[in-house]
């Protein structure tokens, strides 16, 4: 009977059968290593803790026995890692993944899970970055997720020795439920579990906005590079193989807890900032409402007076007003304080209050030149935190149908008089310097007649200095053409504001919009 010269080629050879089985199912090799490493992890875990207890109690003989047990376990672990590999079975090796690919696919860097010093093949239990001093207790709540009760017990005992609070879950589904109802600082997650494995659990944790910030460390007897990459890509902070070095485990947990604590602190600061912003926004809205409350209500008789005001921010610097000085003279004014915000609004409100109350120390409020000169001396720029304002001020005599007016650095008012086919536009220019620049300034006072049926428009530069979406400035003639076509319309001011928004390409303009219209 002939002999087969190569026993490994015999289909009945046990090693060849095992090789064929692994070729048919590549995951079997990983599963076998996992099944060997899991109990070894438990032996080493309990052994290390018992050794610590024995050393504390001075039981040196017990310590020696425990060290021999751990040494034998580590030796067996080395045999598993050496022989249960594709190289031993002559299977095609797994193509290595370049580190640059890992870095490109994730913003986290994979850290070697075995940075421990060794002497004669035995781990010293010291991490490369561990302090030689006794570690201080850590603070945090940890969720341990593992389907093996013994694995959970080993890990929980180790964590509790470091002062950590622990909770346990037997699979991913239970873990997700616990995370939804409780606050955890870190999740230690096994990969191979029934019901829901660690990969799916990790993905669900990171895809949920409420839990994505919780750091996750994967702990598993699986040690393939593909598993590491898959976990890091899915959002894991780190990956540690079983059996784990206790000092290294502590270092990784400490780093994650510090990161989580820093994020929580940032979130607390952010919430405080948001609350402060909310309060300030409310206060600014109240200030804006107060400023608007100073504006007079529209009237219909004896003259029709309407207005449109819209701040470009929470609080603007534009203001307007009109009031009867006596039964024959109506004062009208629009002012624009430089800048925006609280400072501009306060100055605007102060100036309007002085004008509308008639408390300006001037002999005759019916003389625009005197009013402007007095305002200039009252609101000098060096006394107003370097703020100034422009103003157009006019007084209409209802009996003589004449308008006295003057301006301080303000855009010209626009008087539209009736024409045969369309109104005529007359610009009532502002010839004086802005308010507050130089004390003792003299201001011009001009007079014009106002035919019946005329319209006067007094506005701020935010009504025509509109920047288009492409960055170009709107032509000032666009406003002239629009007003000539729509000056008779009751909603003229609102229609022009909407046109400015359209041209700007935004609901918010670059400057405050203030327009006062009087129909004579």
- What pLDDT shows up at residue 21? 57
- What pLDDT shows up at residue 118? 38
Q: The pTM is what?
A: 0.56
- What pLDDT shows up at residue 90? 46
Please report, in tens digits, the pLDDT of each residue of the chain (520 residues total). 445 445 445 455 666 665 665 555 555 666 666 666 667 767 777 777 777 777 777 777 777 777 777 777 777 777 766 666 655 444 444 444 343 333 333 333 333 433 434 333 333 433 333 344 445 678 899 999 999 898 888 889 889 888 899 999 999 999 999 998 878 999 999 988 889 999 999 999 999 998 999 999 988 766 666 777 888 899 999 888 777 778 888 888 999 999 888 888 888 898 999 999 888 888 888 888 888 889 999 999 999 999 999 988 767 889 999 999 999 999 999 999 998 888 889 999 999 999 998 888 887 999 999 999 999 999 999 999 899 999 999 999 999 999 999 999 999 999 999 988 889 999 999 999 999 999 999 999 999 999 999 999 999 999 999 999 888 999 989 999 999 999 999 999 999 999 999 999 988 888 999 999 999 9
Percentage helix, strand, coil, to 5, in the chain?
Answer: 45, 20, 35
- Number of other residues whose CB lies within 10 A of the CB of residue 421: 4
Render pLDDT for 436-453 as a digit per residue (tens, 0 to 9). 999 999 999 999 999 999
Q: Using a CB cutoff of 8 Å and minimum separation of 24, what contacts does 491-497 make? A: 492/517, 493/306, 493/307, 493/308, 493/517, 494/308, 496/308, 496/463, 497/308, 497/310
186 beta partners: 142
CA 281/CA 192 separation, integer angstroms: 52
**Which of 346, 350, 356 has the alpha carbon at shortest distance from 315?**
346
- What pLDDT shows up at residue 22? 53
CA 336/CA 407 separation, integer angstroms: 12
Q: 369, 443 in Cβ contact below 8 A?
A: yes
Q: How far, CA to CA in Å, does 516 sit from each of 297, 305, 385? A: 12, 7, 28
Q: How far, CA to CA in Å, does 86 sit from each of 40, 83, 89? A: 21, 8, 5
- What pLDDT shows up at residue 17? 61
Q: Is 8 exposed, middle or buried, given 0-12, 13-18 or 19+ CB atoms closer than 10 A?
A: exposed
CA 408 from centroid of its chain's CA atoms = 44
- What pLDDT shows up at residue 115? 40
- What pLDDT shows up at residue 14? 63
Beta strands in 104-195 (DSSP E): 116-119, 122-127, 141-145, 165-169, 186-189
CA 413 from centroid of its chain's CA atoms = 45
Q: 298, 254 in Cβ contact below 8 A?
A: no
Angle between helices 149-161 and 27-57 (to 10 degrees): 40
CA 334 from centroid of its chain's CA atoms = 39
Cis peptide before 151 (omega within 30 of 0): no
- What pLDDT shows up at residue 423? 93
Beta strands in 409-501 (DSSP E): 413-417, 424-428, 446-449, 455-459
**Which of 144, 178, 174 has the alpha carbon at shortest distance from 159?**
144
CA 257/CA 141 separation, integer angstroms: 9
Q: Which helix (H) or strand (E) segment is 80 a member of?
A: helix 60-83
Q: Using a CB cutoff of 8 Å and minimum separation of 24, what contacts does 96-104 make? A: 96/225, 97/225, 97/226, 97/229, 102/229, 102/232
Q: Is 149 exposed, middle or buried, given 0-12, 13-18 or 19+ CB atoms closer than 10 A?
A: exposed
Counting Cα atoms < 13 Å in the Cβ hemisphere of 113 gives 23
- What pLDDT shows up at residue 34? 64
């Amino acid at each position: 009977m002939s002999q087969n010269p190569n026993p490994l080629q015999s289909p009945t050879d046990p090693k060849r059968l095992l090789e064929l089985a692994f070729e048919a199912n590549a995951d079997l090799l990983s599963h076998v290593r996992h099944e060997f490493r899991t109990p070894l992890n438990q032996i080493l875990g309990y052994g290390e803790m018992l050794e610590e207890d024995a050393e504390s109690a001075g039981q040196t003989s017990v310590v020696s026995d425990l060290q021999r047990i751990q040494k034998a376990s580590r030796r067996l672990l080395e045999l598993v890692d050496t022989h249960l590999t594709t190289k031993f079975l002559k299977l095609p090796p797994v193509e290595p993944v370049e580190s640059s690919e890992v870095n490109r696919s994730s913003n986290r860097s994979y850290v070697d899970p075995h940075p421990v010093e060794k002497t004669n093949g035995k781990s010293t239990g010291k991490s490369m970055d561990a302090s030689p001093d006794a570690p201080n207790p850590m603070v945090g709540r940890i969720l341990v997720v593992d389907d093996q009760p013994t694995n959970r017990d080993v890990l929980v005992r180790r964590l509790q020795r470091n002062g950590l609070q622990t909770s346990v879950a037997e699979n991913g589904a239970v873990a997700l439920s616990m995370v939804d109802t409780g606050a955890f600082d870190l999740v230690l997650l096994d990969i191979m579990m029934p019901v829901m494995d660690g990969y799916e659990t990790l993905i669900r944790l990171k895809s949920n906005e409420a839990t994505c910030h919780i750091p996750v460390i994967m702990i598993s007897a699986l040690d393939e590079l593909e598993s590491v990459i898959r976990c890091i890509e899915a959002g894991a902070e780190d990956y540690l193989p079983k059996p784990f070095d206790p000092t290294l485990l502590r270092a990784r947990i400490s780093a994650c807890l510090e990161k989580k604590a820093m994020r929580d602190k940032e979130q607390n600061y952010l919430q405080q900032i948001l609350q402060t912003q909310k309060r300030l926004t409310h206060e600014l809205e109240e200030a804006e409402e107060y400023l608007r409350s100073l504006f007079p209500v529209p009237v219909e008789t004896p003259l029709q007076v309407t207005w449109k005001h819209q701040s470009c921010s929470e609080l603007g610097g534009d203001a307007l007003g009109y009031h009867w000085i006596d039964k024959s003279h109506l004062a009208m004014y629009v002012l624009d304080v430089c800048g925006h915000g609280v400072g501009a609004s306060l100055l605007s409100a102060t100036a309007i209050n002085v004008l509308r109350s008639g408390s300006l120390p001037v002999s005759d409020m019916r003389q625009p030149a005197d009013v402007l000169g007095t305002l200039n001396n009252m609101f000098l720029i060096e006394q107003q935190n370097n703020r100034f304002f422009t103003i157009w001020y006019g007084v209409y005599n209802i009996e003589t149908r004449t308008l006295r007016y003057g301006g301080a650095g303000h855009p010209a008012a626009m008087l539209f008089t009736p024409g045969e086919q369309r109104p005529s536009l007359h610009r009532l220019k502002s010839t004086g310097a802005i308010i507050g620049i130089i004390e003792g300034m003299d201001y011009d006072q001009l007079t014009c007649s106002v035919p019946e049926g005329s319209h006067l428009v007094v506005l701020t530069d935010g009504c025509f200095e509109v920047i288009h979406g492409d960055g170009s400035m709107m032509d000032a003639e666009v406003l002239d053409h629009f007003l000539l076509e729509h000056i008779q319309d009751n909603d003229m001011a609102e229609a022009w504001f909407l046109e400015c928004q359209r041209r700007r390409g935004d609901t918010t303009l670059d400057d405050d919009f203030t327009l006062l219209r009087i129909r004579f």
